[in-house]
Amino acid sequence: MDIHTPRILSQRVGLPRELGTAGATSPLERPWTSAIFKEPIPGPVWLSRTGLSGDGQADLKVHGGLEKAVLAYAAAHYDFWRQRLERADVGPGAFGENWVLSGGAEDGTCIGDVLRVGGARVQVSQPRQPCWKPARRWGRKDLALLIQETGRTGWYFRVLEEGPVREGDALELLERPYPAFTVAFANHAMHGQAPDAAAALSECPLLSPGWRESLRRRARGTRGDDRPRLVGPDTAD
């Protein structure tokens, strides 16, 4: 096997829980509900169409589901965030990821990639669009925007074939139907002023439906307001 084939360094799951302090003065310290805290679970763990056994999401309108069954993140990004956030404790699971990967990144992972991992088969469906919850976790109001602007977003998999998965499993690339549509390109199409890129990517049938519709709007010049997603309730009264 190619030594550059990514492997799962850490596999993590978690369920929603209540966090924060009632009556806190700072919006960043007020009560909130999230499953962003994921604990390591080496496996084997059953990967179903909707995700790893034992994993959950707090807001099912924007998290989880068939198109966002597993969130992957490149381990190489953590050094950057430790320096940027001046936090030595930023590491695996920092952003609610399920799989921390030993290799691969947004510029080398493509929409529609099909991979064999353990006893399952998965497909890249979309980049992660960061929301305000990582900002709340790390006490940094602008963190979601920083994740978006740096392109260190991670990406989601849909599950094509269910099966057991464990730490150490390799992600073997089986198919790459859209080599031009990297996750980095998708981030640029969505978040940059790039109507041509947005229009082109919106026609990709293996991109998640929600992203395709958002890109169509961006191609027409109707971006909408990203502030609720990026900042949410983390603003001062």
- DSSP strand pairing (45-48 vs 155-161): unpaired
- Interatomic CA distance for residues 205 and 65, integer angstroms: 18
pTM equals 0.94
Q: Which two tokens mark 70?
A: 């597993």
Q: Contact, 158 vs 206, CB < 8 A?
A: no
Q: Read off the pLDDT band of 222 (50, 70, 90).
A: confident
- Taking only the tens place, the pLDDT of each residue in 48-83 is 999 999 998 877 666 778 999 999 999 999 999 999
Q: Read off the pLDDT band of 236 (50, 70, 90).
A: low
pLDDT at 23 over 60: yes
Homologous superfamily assigned to 8-177 = PK beta-barrel domain-like (2.40.33.20)
Q: Which of 51-65, 102-116, 157-171 has the lowest mean pLDDT?
A: 51-65
Compute the average pLDDT of residues 97-109: 96
